[in-house]
Structure 1
Amino acid sequence: MTFVVVLLALGGFTTPPKARWELSESGVTARLRGLSVVSHRVAWASGSAGTVLRTVDGGRSWAQVGPPGTADLQFRDIEAFSADRAVILSIGEGEQSRIYATADGGRTWTETFRNDEPRAFYDCLAFFDHRRGLALSDPVDGHFRIASTVDGGRSWRVLPPDGMPPALAGEFAFAASGTCLVTADRGGPFAWFATGGGAAARVFRSATYGRTWTVTDTPVPSGPTAGIYSLAFRDPGQGIAVGGDFAAPTVAPDAAALSRDAGRTWRTAATVPGEYRSGSAWVPRTARTALAVGPTGSDVSDDGGRTWRRFDTGSFDAVDCAADGTCWASGEQGRLARLSR
């Protein structure tokens, strides 16, 4: 059996104390690591085997709307603007990293970017608004690589590396949930991306729409398969980071951190999920509620990421929320989940 999960709007200012996931049929078995929620009715998900799903009725039905001829691609990130407009990113070395855009709900797609650098590996997408966006690649010649769009993803330009601090030996980003690169929920020129793999798990910050960056170390442990897998910023000041080691998913000490100064400094959460988490999101229309998900469970924080508590043990990879408070989670075997109370 395959599943879809819809996470309905969280009312009030706290997470429902008896929150639980409700599963329903999705019709696919793909692993869905890309997720973008537009409203209580519209959401998109993407994943392995060229899979792209769309609902326009709040998850009661799903349509497969991916580009034809892409079954060999993994669409690890999707950014949707409406029921009609969306941009998807496939990951991989060289030409496996591609970007497609649709303006008609997935009936037709246009390939708008194909990576021509064999050493580049694109991990994540993020948009500031309907026009400006960025795509992040692992380092090439010692620097992370950024592609930029100013026309809603219809065209892309690789930015020069002179505004990017040097990468550490072995450092890279994780294409686990489409949230290794993020912008602030409440707008502005700010962007952040998170790393692992090297001597430290770091967060890079831009206040110039991605043209220039600064970087800071975090207390999240780093290693060959460990680091920060997901970032979420409620506004330009308040951010959370979660991660761990996907090779050891049940043990993740100190793998959650928070920032209250726009990502310039980070401190370990007082109570962490304690296991690997690949996705995170702030819940709009709540005071300080955030969610974190991973293959061993889901956690919630009601105090801005300072403390976390487990509320589910099912497997999910990504979580996303719309401005109206509607949140969804997605993961393996076509799972997409809805929070019921």
Structure 2
Amino acid sequence: MRIRGKSSAVAIAAVVTAAIAVSAGAQSVPRITEWPTGVTTLLQAVHAVNSEVVWAAGHRGTVLRSRDGGRTWERVETPAGDTLEYRDVHAVSVDTAWILSAGDGSKSRIYRTTDGGATWRLQFINPDPSAFYDCLSFGTTLQGVAYGDASHQRTNLLRTDDAGATWTLLAPAAVPSPLPGEGAFAASGRCVVHGNATTVYVATGAPGARLFRSRDAGRTWAVENTPFTRGTAAGLTGLSFVDGTRGIAVAADINRLRTDVSQAVVGVTTDGGRNWQLRTRPPLPGALAGVTWVPDAGPGVAVAVGFGGAFYSLDEGRSWTTITDQVTTGVDAFGRAVWIGGANGKLWRLDF
């Protein structure tokens, strides 16, 4: 559904609520609610500013915003109509957000709004026809990082210190040298994440499933090898860090979106990615796309999403419970709540 004008509210009551409040120590099985959005596109990325303000972005130029925790959604008019795929969104308030469109050459762009999507300013348009940008993240309202697939034998990492008014491509000496054909999977908007204001991580996909880490807000970078699945179309797909050291990651073979059964696809770290402990993969086949900790729900609570469904864990990924077997990609948490975006405009909220 394409809606002209500044925005259009979708105020429809929730249609599905699955609730079983069963105690599991200090944690509990989440209440799961599916909210209608009024769109039918794949919602590939979700970002929660707080318990009420949530943004989502997806294919065919779709950007949504909720101001009531996901009960209702409004579609925001976006630049370039329905020609772009917005693979990531990062918001800092009800009015201010960045969206990243992915694609070859000039299809990779970054826009910013400061008026809730009424207007957008184009901040970056990719000048390199061989490059493809995947994800972005901000550690503060001014400092941000965006990652793109390697091109011309160089790693493409952008950085801003002025809220995106200018984006600078980092010099090769400041970033890891790329593996041949190295890039990230623009699957969930979680291939670039911040652990804190100055610690930033990049999850690379094929061919090496490597982890890039910066301790100085993206100015310089180090690289770590990981034990996750890897290959010509396999590697890391999503990350979540609660601080500068404690993280969880998922990986996948993207060639097998609905059938992937790779085992080395979930892991946790307590030392900023130097070492990883592999965990159990979720029970259904399918490529995993993203993951988030839910720290306020307990130290071991996480939610993973992918093309085979969505899942939650109460024990740091040692075991998983299925939320849905539908395609899900975007995921983010705030407090004890998690929002999940998926195919056909589906959005779920979990309350732990």
Q: TM-score, normalised by structure 2?
A: 0.88
Give the Cα separation in 2 of the matches to 1:286 and 1:22: 17
Q: CA 1:7–1:68 in structure 2 vs 1: closer, same or farther (change >3 Å)?
A: farther
Give the Cα separation in 1 of the matches to 2:317 and 2:168: 35
- Which one of 269, 272, 293 corresponds to residue 305 of structure 2? 293
Give the Cα separation in 2 of the matches to 1:313 and 1:134: 33
Give the Cα separation in 1 of the matches to 2:166 and 2:35: 37
**How much does 1:41 deviate?**
1.5
Give the structure 1 partner of residue 52 of structure 2.
41
- Which one of 188, 193, 204 corresponds to residue 195 of structure 1? 204
Give the Cα separation in 1 of the matches to 2:217 and 2:17: 31
Q: CA 1:55–1:190 in structure 2 vs 1: closer, same or farther (change >3 Å)?
A: same
Q: Does 1:268 align with 2:278?
A: yes
Give the Cα separation in 2 of the matches to 1:99 and 1:174: 17
Q: Does 1:321 align with 2:329?
A: no
Q: Does 1:26 align with 2:34?
A: no
Per-residue deviation, residues 106-126 of structure 1 (Å, max 9, x unmatched): 111111111111111100001
**How much does 1:299 deviate?**
2.1
Question: Percent of counterpart pairs with the same letter?
Answer: 40
Alignment of 1:176-255 (within 5 A): 176-184=187-195, 187-198=196-207, 200-248=208-256, 249-250=258-259, 251-255=261-265
Q: CA RMSD in A?
A: 2.6
Q: CA 1:22–1:309 in structure 2 vs 1: closer, same or farther (change >3 Å)?
A: closer
- Which one of 81, 84, 92 corresponds to residue 70 of structure 1? 81
What SS does the aligned partner of 1:247 have? helix
- Which one of 61, 71, 87 corresponds to residue 50 of structure 1? 61
Higher RCO by CA contacts (8 Å cutoff, separation 6 or greater): 1
**How much does 1:30 deviate?**
1.2
Listed as ranges, the gaps of 5+ residues in structure 1 are none
Give the Cα separation in 2 of the matches to 1:241 and 1:281: 9
Give the Cα separation in 2 of the matches to 1:20 and 1:287: 15
Letter of the structure 2 residue corresponding to residue 229 of structure 1: T
Alignment of 1:131-146 (within 5 A): 131-146=142-157
Work out whether residues 147 and 159 of structure 1, in 8 Å CA contact, stay in contact via their aligned partners in 2.
yes
**How much does 1:215 deviate?**
1.2
Listed as ranges, the gaps of 5+ residues in structure 2 are 2-9
- Which one of 284, 289, 303 corresponds to residue 278 of structure 1? 289
What SS does the aligned partner of 2:28 have? coil
Per-residue deviation, residues 290-321 of structure 1 (Å, max 9, x unmatched): 11111212222223344444343232111101
Letter of the structure 2 residue corresponding to residue 129 of structure 1: T
Per-residue deviation, residues 149-175 of structure 1 (Å, max 9, x unmatched): 112223312121211122112321000
